[in-house]
Amino acid sequence: MRKKHEIITFKVDGDLWRAIKDLPNRSEFIRTALLAAVGSMCPLCNGTGVLTPNQTRHWHDFASHHSIQKCSDCEELVLVCSKTSEHDS
């Protein structure tokens, strides 16, 4: 059985339109970009950029035992558990 495709439309501003209008396969580009964005979404806020009051409370509990540090290999910011790092030293 063939998979049914859904059609989604959305508006873009002029700058974005000019950036993608000449792509050979806009649909494939947009699908790939959306899948990458969804795969990189924050697990707490689900991409909204805002935590609910309860999520904020849980985050503060979590953050009391974790810190944000720069990875020495890739230089990206990472969460580090203070309990684990005490045992690793």
With contact defined as beta carbons under 8 Å apart, do 51 and 61 qualify?
no
The tokens describing 3, both together, are 């998979």
* pLDDT tens column, 37-69: 888 888 888 888 999 999 999 999 999 999 999
* pLDDT tens column, 10-29: 999 999 999 999 999 999 99
Domain boundaries defined on the chain: 14-64
Write out the DSSP string of 10-72. ----HHHHHHHTT-TTHHHHHHHHHHHHHHT--TTTTTSS---HHHHHHHHHHHTTEEEEE-T
Nearest to 83 by CA among 65, 63, 62: 65
Prediction pTM value: 0.56
Q: Check whether 8 has a pLDDT greater than 70.
A: yes
